[in-house]
Structure 1
Amino acid sequence: MRVFVLLFNARTDDEGIHTIRVGDRNKVLMFESSDDAERFAMLLEAQDFPVPTVEPIDSQEVEGFCSEMDYDYEIVPLNGALAIPPELNVEETDWDPNADNSSKNTDASNQQQSNATDIADSELDSIRRRLEGLI
């Protein structure tokens, strides 16, 4: 099955896949719809995140990568609930865009963590307005 994932520095030597931190685990989101993946990418950009590229890929390839890296994965279904990034990003990522090519640069790139400090109500209102604008 063809899915869409978010990549940083796509098709370069320092390519990285977007993951979300859930507890102590990394999860790769596989979107069935390119539109949903694009919306998610825009939400990341709205959080001052580097802009990812939406790339089509075979789901078995992503599953194999996740198995090899000991990551979890989730398929975001077409016409399912709108996937929303966590409000807060991980302070330090495992991904190093300046690492030499002998290391695996796709490891845990640009992770996010949802259990951090609280967000101000005004920022939550701003996020809500942007989400409503997408619908």
Structure 2
Amino acid sequence: MRVYVLLFNPGTESEGIHSLQVNDRNLILMFEAEDDATRYALLLEAQDFHAPSVVEIDAAEIEEFCDASGYACQRVPQGFVPKSDAERLFLSPPESNVGETDWELENIVPPAAELEDQLSDSELNSLRQRLEKLL
């Protein structure tokens, strides 16, 4: 089944997926209808969040990502109309955004000298190997 999710900077190194913080867990909304996802994205923009892109993706791929990342995911049925305050709250964009997103934090690279001071030789070797694999 195909669903629609909200991505930030799709197709780039700093790609990120929109999630809601529910208790101590991140929750990804999977919209069954593109119109519903677009409407939600517009609500986020209206509240000065980063502008997301609506992207169609296989639901199984998102579910696998969530399992691997410790996230939760929730399908939003086409034309879903909240019937309770809890459902309304669930589908309302959050009132505030995180200070720095995960993808922004991942793209911060400390100076090399600072890294060498903080990492052991084995950690540096591991980092070098991972970087070499990217090339």
Structure 2 unaligned blocks of 5 or more: 83-90, 110-129
Write the deviation string for residues 4-48 of structure 1: whole angstroms up to 9, x where unpaired. Answer: 000000111111001100011000000000000001100000111
Aligned to 2:22: 22
Alpha-carbon separation, structure 2, partners of 1:47 and 1:80: 21
Q: Does 1:91 align with 2:95?
A: no
Pairwise CA distance, 1:90:
2.7
Which has the larger share of helix?
2
Q: Secondary structure of 1:95's partner?
A: helix
Counterpart contact for 2:8–2:16, Cα < 8 Å:
yes
Aligned to 2:34: 34
TM-score, normalisation: structure 1: 0.69
Q: Identity rate of aligned residues, in percent?
A: 53
Query: Which structure would you say has the larger Rg?
Result: 2
Q: Does 1:80 align with 2:80?
A: yes
Pairwise CA distance, 1:99:
4.3
Amino acid in the other structure paired with 1:65:
F
Pairwise CA distance, 1:93:
3.2
Q: What's the Cα RMSD here?
A: 1.9
Amino acid in the other structure paired with 1:77:
P
Write the deviation string for residues 54-107 of structure 1: whole angstroms up to 9, x where unpaired. Answer: 00000000000000000000001112126321222233433326247x69xxxx
Q: Secondary structure of 2:75's partner?
A: strand
Runs of 4+ aligned residues of structure 1 deviating over 4 Å after TM superposition are: none
Question: Mean Cα displacement is larger for which, 82-91 or 6-15?
Answer: 82-91
Q: What does 1:33-72 align with in structure 2 at a 5 Å threshold?
A: 33-72=33-72
Alpha-carbon separation, structure 1, partners of 2:63 and 2:16: 16
Q: Which has the higher contact order (CA 8 A, sep 6+)?
A: 1
Q: Does 1:4 align with 2:13?
A: no
Counterpart contact for 2:5–2:56, Cα < 8 Å:
yes
TM-score, normalisation: structure 2: 0.69
